[in-house]
Amino acid sequence: MYLLLYLATFVTCSLASASSFTVFIDGEAGTTGLQVRDRLSTRTDLTLLTPPDELRKDDKTRRAFLNKADACILCLPDAASKQAVDWLAEDKNEKTIIIDASTAFRTDPTFTYGLPELNKDQKACIARSKRISNPGCYPTGFISLVSPLVTAQLLAKDSLLTVNAVSGYSGGGKPLMKLYEGKEGDCEPVRATARARRRRSARSRCEEIVQETKGSALRRA
């Protein structure tokens, strides 16, 4: 998990002498947050800051924990991640390191793109950064393969490439994981049927548009 590599990198490089490093996982009850917490809970050099369960979505509490932590991992929807970053800016907090797992800041120039293998200097950039965007799984696979080819001038920067990528059901979060892993049994036939219905519906709508377009052309003629 790249998210944890970033954390380990800047802890080692930036605060190697610190006896304890505090981390707040904003959104730790979600699918991503639970996995991150599980990975970090065994670290003896980190202290996890956790608000009371009934206050974990309370804005005032979240803001206080953001400002208290040495680092915060945002496992939130885009809008909530932007809100958290705005709070730190309003509070003039330049101490807390932010690692954002959403898509909100992946192309933001004020954030460091969190892919150490992007180039030979990227790992050091991540270690120095206070704002890190976690790359998505598809971009990680694609960029890791293509970037070295572009750097070596074996592939033109403006090459038109297509990548066929397929996601697992865990990408749908806890509700979909429960559906697939629960007592309901194998859901693939239902899923396949739903896809087929969507395709038929889309195809029917396309045919309607084509017919409407032809009708309009005939009326104008």
Question: Which residues participate in catalysis according to the annotation?
Answer: 137
Cα-flanking dihedrals φ and ψ of residue 45, to 5°? Answer: -95, 5
Token pair in block for residue 73: 């991992």
Among 61, 71, 65, 98, which residue's Cα sits nearest to residue 82?
A: 98
DSSP string for 149-205:
HHHTTSS-TT----------GGGGHHHHHHHHHSTT---HHHHHHHHHHHHHHHHHH
Q: In 3D, which of 22, 16, 12, 14 has the Cα closest to residue 46?
A: 22
